[in-house]
Structure 1
């Protein structure tokens, strides 16, 4: 369905990838993976025709409908949610809107009647079963949006992206290009999306940093690395095994050649001046010249080293919330909520978008006050907070190491080493924090938490904008952390990695407090997040 021939992309002197040739076939669902900055989004934009490559061609078979997940969440501000989704099929949208205008005419001329007949044919071609309204409402409700007639400008930014996702799914395109579709989705919505995409019969290319999602959806992996885009059969975990085997094989081959090179050089140096061995030395010299000692290509992937340590040993009293009530207008967030963290607790807070997970974090950190009830933090507790709007909070012209310097963190050498562990090289540390990408800002905030050494971590969606390697490293760091954790996340792999207690906020003040892992919680309550 999609043919890629000799594709090369450069930005100035920076080469992203070169001479890429692939065939993307019908029925395959491709996960596009790679380190931040490797060129995933650029590659997807080239496939969708949004940008031109430096050289090479993209050919899409004629007659196939292409759907691209848009990123401009403010493009439909004066549209209702229903109309914004309908706009995903522009031909159907135009026909329906024109029909509505013509039906408002005071008199029906022959021209209007003829035009209405033409529009009815278009509508029938695009929506043979006349179910477009039902389908739109079903998609929106599955994403947690039920007020179909409200305007886009009344929605929060995260929900605008949900509408854009509904917009691209609605027409059932033959070829789907999706860049981070799981962003801003809760666990239930992600599970629904997995099922939708697994029913897709055409071709799908999707970028995601959600390992569980990639495992559930993808039949193939496109790996952007080594200045190439390599295809692997299977899901993410299968790619991971195959990729490691290839790396080890290449390393062994290189070590074998290096050993042979060393032995040849020793023989030549020892016997080249010896007349009786001159012929053998010459022969070995020729073998040495033919020996290809090519370096193993450097991967663009780098694993951060995340290590949360304690500045102070945690006491017996950690955190207790008593009889907490919180409402926004008439919406109940917390109702007589009691919550006590014990030593060793690592709590994952889950629930659909908008139920109040961030509100709970803000009450714990005293960023907002409850309507009633008490929050008591133990005398030994030194909290560290990762806010959901971290990107908005990290601003200004300070260099990275300057931003992290304060009264508690004065040691510049320690700060630079910490930034290095989070993959900021010496030169990159000279950047101003205001110019960082979302993923870079999140790595800076994780650096700050490592430096202040809290014994209670309150993390609100820390995995947003992080690549797969960083999310895996974060999960391992939380698992090994000696303090307590309260972490909001929709990433099931991250939750599985560290949590020994689940707080499930279901809405309207209903909350389930379960001691055990996420897998145990699903099993006990018969909850399925599988495809």
Structure 2
């Protein structure tokens, strides 16, 4: 369905990838993975025709409908949510809107009747079952958007992204290109999307940092690394095993060649002047010239070293919420909520968007007062907070190490080492924090938590903007952490890595407090993992 021939992409002297040849077939769902900056989004934009490669071609079979997840969240401000979704099929949208306008005419002329007939044919061609309105509403509802006639200008940015996702899925395109479709989706919506994509019978290429999503959806992996894009059959976990096996084989082959090289050089040096051995020495010299002992190419993947230490031992009294109630306008978030955090608890806070997960975090750390009730934090507890709006909070002209310096953390050498563990090289540490990307700001905030050594971590979606390697490292760090954790996340793999208690906020004051893993919680509900 999609052919990639001799594709190369350069930005100045930097080569992202070169001489790429791929055949992306019908029925296959490709996960496009790689380190941040490796070229994933660039490759997807080349596939969709948004940008031109330096050389090479992308060929898509004629007659196929191509769907690309939009990134301009402000593009449909004057449309209702339902109309913005319908716009995903522009021909159908134009026909429907023109019909609506003509039916408002004061008189029906022959020309109008004739035009209405033509529009009816277009509508039937694009939507033979006349279910477009129901389908628009069904997709929006599945994404947690139920006010279909609300204007796009009246909803939050995260919800606008959901509408763009609904828009690209609505026309059921033959070829789907999706860049981070799980952004801003809660676990329920991600599960729905997994199911939708698993029923897509065309070609799918998707970028995601959600390992569970990649495992559930993908039949193949496209790995952007070493200036190449290599195809693997299987999901993310199967790629991980195969890629590590290939890397080990390459390393073993190089070590074998280095050993042979050493032996050949010794023989040549010893016998090249010996007439009786000259022929053998010449033969070995030719063999030596053919040996590949070049350094293995360096992967663009880099794994941060995340380690949360305790600055103070944690006591038996950690955190207790007593009869907490909170409303926003007439919406009940918490009502007489009681919660006690025990020693060793690592809590994952889950629930659909907008039910109060961030509100809970802010009440715990004192950024928001409950309408009634009290918050008691133990005398030995020193909390560390990772806010959801980290990107907005980290700003200004301070250099990275200057931003992390405070009365408690004065040791510049220790700060620089910590930044190095979070993949900021010496030169990168000179950047102004306000100029960092979203992922870089999140790594700075994690650096701050490592330096301050809290014994209670309150984390609100810390995995946002992190790549797969960083999310895996974060999960391992939370698992090994000796303190207590309260973490909001929609990333199933991250939750599975550390959580031994689940707090499911359902809305309208309803909360489920489950002791056990997320897998066990879903099993208790009769849900598949």
Following the alignment from structure 1 to structure 2, what is the Cα–Cα distance between the partners of residues 243 and 72?
Answer: 35
Matching residue of 2:250:
250
Matches within 5 A, 1:415-426: 415-426=415-426
Where in structure 1 do 4 or more consecutive aligned residues deviate above 4 Å?
A: none
Deviation at 1:490, TM superposition (A): 0.5
2:443 aligns to what SS in structure 1?
Answer: helix
| 3-state SS, counterpart of residue 413 of structure 1 | helix
Structure 1 partner of 2:241 = 241
Matched, 1:117 2:123: no
Provide the residue aligned with 1:210 in structure 2. 210
Q: How far 1:268 moved relative to its partner?
A: 2.1
Partner of 2:185, secondary structure, is coil
Contact persistence 2:219–2:235 (CA under 8 A):
yes
Match of 1:354 in 2: 354
Partner of residue 101, structure 1: 101
Q: Is the 8 A contact 2:355 2:505 kept in 1?
A: yes
1:268 — aligned with what? 268
Counterpart residue number, 1:340: 340
Distance 1:343 1:520 in 2: 21
Matched position secondary structure for 2:361: helix
C-alpha distance in 1, partners of 2:262/2:394?
Answer: 52
Match of 1:325 in 2: 325
Say which SS state the counterpart of residue 313 (structure 2) adopts: coil
Query: In the TM superposition, what is the alpha-carbon distance from 1:276 to its structure 2 partner?
Result: 4.3
- Return the alpha-carbon distance in structure 2 between the equivalents of residues 284 and 142 of structure 1: 68
1:107 alignment partner, SS class: coil
CA RMSD of superposed structures (Å): 1.0
In 1, distance between residues paired with 2:399 and 2:275?
65
Contact map agreement 2:6 2:20 (CA 8 A) in 1: yes
1:518 counterpart residue number: 518
The answer to whether the 8 A contact 2:385-2:457 is kept is yes
1:159-183 deviations in Å (ceiling 9; x for gaps): 1111110000001001000000011
Measure the CA separation in 1 of the matches of 2:330 and 2:26.
Answer: 49
- Verify: 1:312 aligned to 2:289, yes or no: no
Per-residue CA distance 1:446-502 (angstroms, 9 max, x = gap): 111111111000000001111111111100000000000000000011000000100
Aligned twin of 1:457? 457
Q: Which residue pairs with 1:53 in the alignment? A: 53
Q: Which residue of 2 aligns with 1:481?
A: 481
- Partners of 1:452 and 1:151 in 2: CA distance: 44
The 1-side partners of 2:431 and 2:265 are apart by 46
Q: Give 1:275 deviation, angstroms.
A: 4.3
- Does structure 1 conserve the Cα–Cα contact (< 8 Å) formed by 2:4 and 2:59? yes
Give the Cα separation in 1 of the matches to 2:78 and 2:17.
40
Give the SS at the match of 1:333: strand
5+ residue gaps, structure 1: none
- Asked if 1:164 is matched to 2:143, the reply is no
Task: Determine if contact 2:355/2:507 at 8 Å carries over to the other structure.
Answer: yes
In 2: Cα distance, 1:274 partner to 1:48 partner: 65
The SS at the match of 1:268 is helix
Cα distance between partner residues in 1 of 2:111 and 2:230: 57
Higher mean C-alpha displacement, 282-291 vs 450-459: 282-291
Which residue is equivalent to 2:144? 144
In structure 1, what is the Cα distance between the partners aligned to 2:213 and 2:237? 11
Q: 2:370 matched to 1:365?
A: no
Q: Name the SS for the 2:216 alignment partner.
A: helix
Normalising by the residue count of structure 2, what TM-score does the alignment of the two structures yield? 0.99
CA distance in 1, matches of 2:50, 2:408: 47
SS of 1:364's partner is: helix
Distance 2:79 2:322 in 1: 43
Partner of 1:299: 299
> Could you tell me which residue of structure 2 aligns to residue 385 of structure 1?
385
Q: TM-score scaled by structure 1?
A: 0.98
- Paired with 1:431 and 1:236, the residues of 2 have a C-alpha distance of 34
Q: Cα distance, 1:424 vs. partner?
A: 1.1
The DSSP-based 3-state class of the residue aligned with 1:261 is: helix
Given that residues 400 and 429 in structure 2 are in contact (C-alpha distance below 8 angstroms), is that contact kept between their aligned partners in structure 1? Answer: yes
Match of 1:201 in 2: 201
Comparing 395-404 with 212-221, which one deviates more in the overlay? 395-404
- Distance in 1 separating the partners of 2:34 and 2:249: 21
Q: Number of aligned residue pairs: give it.
A: 529
Separation in structure 2 between the aligned mates of residue 135 and residue 16 of structure 1, nearest angstrom: 40
